[in-house]
């Protein structure tokens, strides 16, 4: 069997590296970027400072901030029109995962002849033609890792159905990882997005797919989140912890080209049915799904615990490998204000069966280390709904 691995992004990391944007644009030989962000980030002082610096470098640019929350097709189309009208030659995407996804999708919509959804990642889709405009990405949350990803998630405007546009051409060419862009994140967002990064690394490590490069990155990324998420949440200006979280988020997204697992399938279903924040949904589900995965890969669980320096108490020597990790994960959730389960949502039976249906239809769980059957998906959801 043959395998193919790819790690091509130019990543520049460090405090205030966002001040080097002009240098990055020069390296790409572009001079008229469309700056894409979401309306929330656009209203912050840190974004005003960012633009001021661009102006003082005499960079010609325009800002598109017509997106908010889960990006929809109409947002991307408005950005496409701005890109074409301004005759831009590149995209600077700055913001959380949604803003970065919109920036990447605008690059597709602006340069292709057909509507964006004709390029959705499913059989019969059109292939993206020619080159896409270069994207420079500046993440302002540490979670999705969209800055190194080759896809964008864009919803339909009416039903909010999520569509995935996928092409290696969509990958940003340069990523500027500046911890100062994340210090203003509210604690709850730091914790929820951080749990998304934790889940990416953990699920990517546990999937049995063959990709030893990604396995190594995932294990290191997991350890970085595990050791820094509480500090980043509780001491928001800790630059070292913020840097570690941004890097771990990026590493999770590199690693999950190997695959994800059932936590993400539940999270996608919970976002569709209850509009739950993706990171929060993962945070709520992850320890319960990992308990389900405990018996599937004992050697990997031993490696995880050894890597994180976790030793079960001597009274618990006979426990399965991974049990001590699960205890720590549950404590971490509690400390960071993540609900243990879904009881607070008071899901109806109808909603629960929709969640099970969407979970089973999702593409992530088949790569997990243990199969997800309709019965087990329902049993696990029912259990989490009690907590
Ligand atoms: Zn995720």
- Which tens digits make up the pLDDT trace of 291-307? 999 999 999 999 999 99
Distance 200 CA to ligand 1 centre (A): 6
Q: Does residue 313 register a pLDDT over 90?
A: no
Question: 296 C-alpha vs ligand 1 centroid, how far in Å?
Answer: 22
| Percent of the chain's residues with pLDDT above 90 | 90
> In this model, does residue 8 exceed pLDDT 90?
no
Sign of CA dihedral 283, 244, 206, 147: positive
Task: Give the distance (Å) from ligand 1 centre to CA of residue 222.
Answer: 14
- Three-state SS for 155? strand
Q: Coil, strand or helix: which one is 133?
A: coil
- How many other CB atoms are there within 10 angstroms of residue 247's CB atom? 22
- Residue 344 alpha carbon to ligand 1 centre in Å: 22
Between 183 and 5, whose confidence is greater? 183
Residue of 201, 187, 263, 284 whose CA lies nearest to 230? 187
Give tens-digit pLDDT for 172-222: 999 999 999 999 999 999 999 999 999 999 999 999 999 999 999 999 999
Q: How close is the Cα of 189 to the center of ligand 1, in Å?
A: 14
pLDDT of residue 4: 79
Distance 31 CA to ligand 1 centre (A): 33
State the distance from the centre of ligand 1 to the C-alpha of 199, rounded, in angstroms. 7
Burial (CB count <10 Å: 0-12, 13-18, 19+), residue 309: exposed
Tens of pLDDT, residues 323-368: 999 999 999 999 999 999 999 999 999 999 999 999 999 999 999 9
pLDDT of residue 122: 87
Distance of CA 197 from the midpoint of ligand 1 (Å): 7
The pTM of the whole model exceeds 0.85: yes
Phi/psi of residue 296, nearest 5 degrees: -80, -30
The closest alpha carbon to 385, from 355, 341, 338, belongs to: 341
pLDDT of 253-306, one tens digit each? 999 999 999 999 999 999 989 989 999 999 999 999 999 999 999 999 999 999
CA 325, CA 289: separation in Å to the nearest integer? 13
What average pLDDT does this structure show over 232-244? 98
pLDDT of residue 317: 67
| Burial class (CB within 10 angstroms; exposed 0-12, middle 13-18, buried 19+) of 315 | exposed
Residue 127 is classified by DSSP as P
For residue 98, the CA-to-ligand 1 centroid distance in Å is 12
Question: What three-state secondary structure class fits 139?
Answer: strand
Q: How many percent of the chain have pLDDT more than 70?
A: 99
Measured in Å, residue 153 CA sits from the centre of ligand 1 at 11
State how far the Cα of 191 lies from the Cα of 178, in Å rounded to an integer. Answer: 18
Q: How far is the CA of 55 from the centre of ligand 1 (A)?
A: 35
- All domains in the chain, ordered by first residue: 10-181 (3.40.50.1970), 187-385 (1.20.1090.10)
Q: What is the rounded average pLDDT of the residues 81-106?
A: 97
Tell me, in angstroms, the distance from the centre of ligand 1 to residue 259's CA: 11
Residues sharing a CB contact under 8 Å with residue 24, sequence separation 6 or more, in sequence order: 12, 136, 174, 176
**Residue holding tokens 């030893």?**
212
Q: How confident is the model at residue 314 (pLDDT cuts 50, 70, 90)?
A: confident
Q: How many CA atoms lie within 13 A of 333 on its CB side?
A: 23
> Which pLDDT belongs to residue 162?
84
Would you call 171 helix, strand, or coil by DSSP? coil
Q: How do the residues of the chain divide into helix, strand and coil, expressed in percent and rounded to 5? A: 55, 10, 35
Give residues with Cβ within 8 angstroms of 272, minimum separation 6.
160, 161, 162, 358
* R_g of the chain computed on alpha carbons: 21
Tokens of 215: 């396995």
DSSP annotation of 36 reads E
The DSSP code for 69 is S
Q: 377-382 long-range CB contacts below 8 Å, 24 or more apart?
A: 377/262, 378/352, 380/288, 380/289, 380/292, 381/266, 381/342, 381/352, 381/355, 381/356, 382/352
**Average confidence score pLDDT of the chain:** 95
Q: If you count them, how many residues does the chain have?
A: 387
Kindly give the distance from the C-alpha atom of residue 26 to the centroid of ligand 1, in angstroms, as a whole number: 32
Report helix, strand or coil for 115. Answer: coil
Residue 316, pLDDT score: 64
């Amino acid at each position: 069997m043959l395998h193919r691995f790819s790690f091509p992004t130019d990543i520049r990391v460090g405090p205030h590296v966002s001040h080097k944007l002009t240098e990055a644009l020069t390296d790409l030989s572009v001079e008229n970027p469309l700056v894409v962000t979401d309306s929330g980030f656009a209203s912050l002082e840190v974004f005003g400072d960012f633009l001021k610096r661009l102006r003082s470098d005499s960079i010609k640019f325009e800002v598109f901030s017509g997106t908010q929350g889960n990006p929809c097709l109409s947002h991307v189309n408005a950005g496409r029109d701005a890109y074409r009208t301004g005759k831009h030659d590149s995209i600077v995407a700055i913001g959380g995962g949604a803003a970065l996804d919109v920036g990447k999708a605008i690059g597709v919509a602006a340069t292709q002849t057909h509507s964006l959804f004709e390029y959705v990642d499913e059989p019969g889709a059109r292939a993206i033609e020619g080159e896409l405009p270069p994207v420079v990405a500046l993440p302002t949350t540490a979670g999705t890792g969209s800055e190194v990803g080759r896809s964008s998630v864009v919803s339909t405007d009416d039903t909010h159905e999520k569509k995935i546009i996928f092409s290696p051409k969509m990958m940003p060419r340069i990523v500027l990882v500046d911890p100062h862009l994340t210090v203003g994140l509210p604690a709850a967002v730091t914790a929820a997005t951080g749990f998304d990064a934790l889940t990416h690394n953990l699920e990517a490590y546990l999937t049995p797919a063959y990709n030893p490069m990604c396995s190594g990155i995932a294990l290191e990324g997991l350890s970085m989140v595990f050791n820094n998420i509480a500090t980043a949440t509780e001491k928001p200006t800790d630059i070292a912890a913020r840097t570690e979280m941004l890097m771990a988020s990026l590493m999770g997204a590199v690693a999950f080209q190997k695959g994800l697992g059932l936590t993400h399938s539940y999270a996608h279903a919970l976002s569709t049915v209850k509009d739950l924040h993706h990171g929060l949904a993962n945070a709520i589900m992850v320890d319960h799904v990992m308990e389900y995965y405990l018996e599937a890969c004992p050697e990997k669980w031993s490696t995880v615990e050894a890597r994180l320096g976790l030793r079960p108490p001597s009274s618990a020597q006979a426990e399965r490998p991974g049990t001590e990790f699960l205890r720590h994960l549950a404590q971490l959730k509690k400390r960071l204000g993540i609900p243990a389960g879904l009881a607070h949502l008071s899901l109806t039976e109808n909603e629960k069966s929709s969640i099970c249906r969407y979970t089973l239809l999702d593409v992530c769980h088949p790569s997990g280390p243990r199969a997800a059957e309709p019965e087990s998906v329902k049993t696990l959801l029912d259990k989490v709904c009690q907590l």
